[in-house]
Amino acid sequence: MTNLYDPKTAALLVVDIQDKLWPSISGREEVLKGSLQAIEVAGHMGLPILVTEQYVKGLGPTIPEVRAALDAFGAYRPIEKVAFSCFGEPAFAAAVEKLETKTLILVGIEGHVCVMQTALDALDRGIMPFYVAEAVGSRNPEHKAEAVFRVRRSGGVIGSVEMFAFEGLRGSKHPAFRDVQKVIL
């Protein structure tokens, strides 16, 4: 047993980075940078990438920058939902089950609503959430801080893009090391 996540059973989840809510996200430049890096890292490492969009009619589609990054790895296949937790959408829950996911790497918005509820639901299902704090945003930074505290207290992992990347690689002999290093540095 290890405390490091196993990249063979991990998946990246990009939660609801959509047009209408995006302008009001605090620190959105950092969230965007971290989210794009996480997508590239997952893509280079060959991890499955899941994407959700909350009520597209009201919140619009995924923002163009994120969609382009996902498209680069053939990963823009959004699962639309109306529940806040991604697990509230049966198609999402089925996708996670089919992938036999044991670690769910989380980026997106809002950190204290959809991302947090998904992390807590993952824990209830025996899946470890890896909440990439720099790639998660909320309108109010205090709300995100409260979500980080709650996810950590509940047993989830709070980490950074670099932690996600280098933990998955394990060492410089990994075939994706050079590509991931370029994304991070």
For residues 47 and 11, the answer to whether their CB atoms sit within 8 Å is yes
One pLDDT digit (tens) per residue for the chain, 185 residues: 478 999 999 999 999 999 999 999 999 999 999 999 999 999 999 999 999 999 999 999 999 999 999 999 999 999 999 999 999 999 999 999 999 999 999 999 999 999 999 999 999 999 999 999 999 999 999 999 999 999 999 999 999 999 999 999 999 999 999 999 999 98
Helix, strand, coil share (%) of the chain residues, nearest 5 = 50, 20, 30
Chain-centre distance of CA 44, in angstroms? Answer: 15
Confidence (pTM): 0.97
Q: Could you give the angle at the alpha carbon of 180 between the alpha carbons of 174 and 182, nearest 5°?
A: 130
Please, what are the domains in the chain?
A: 7-184 (3.40.50.850)
> What's the CA gap between 177 and 163, in Å, rounded?
14
